[in-house]
Copies of this chain bind each other. A is one copy, B any other.
Amino acid sequence: MTDTAPRARRSDATRAAILRAARERFAADGYERATIRAIAADARIDPSMVMRYYGSKEGLFAAAAEFDLRLPDLSTVPPDRLGETLVRHFLGRWEGDETLAALLRAASTNPGAAERMRRLFADQLAAAVAGFGTDPATTARRAGLVASQTLGLAFTRYIVRLPPVVEMAPEDLVAWVAPTLQRYLTGRPGS
Residues of chain A touching chain B, judged by Cβ–Cβ distance below 8 Å, are 29-33, 104-105, 107-109, 114, 117-118, 121-122, 126, 140-141, 143-145, 147-153, 155-157, 159-165, 168, 172, 175-180, 183-184, 189-191
Contact = CB atoms under 8 A, between A and B. Distances in A.
Nearest to A166: B144
Contacts of A114: 159-161
Count of chain copies? 2
A163 B161 CA distance: 26
Given A109-B108, A179-B183, A147 B162 contact: yes
23 contacts: A29-B109, A30-B32, A30-B108, A32-B32, A32-B33, A107-B159, A108-B159, A109-B109, A114-B161, A118-B160, A126-B164, A145-B176, A147-B152, A147-B156, A148-B152, A148-B165, A150-B152, A151-B155, A152-B153, A155-B155, A176-B189, A178-B190, A180-B183
Contact of A144 (B104, B162, B178): B162
Nearest to A138: B164
A33 to B, nearest CB: 6
B109 A104 contact: no
Nearest to A172: B189
A101 to B, nearest CB: 10
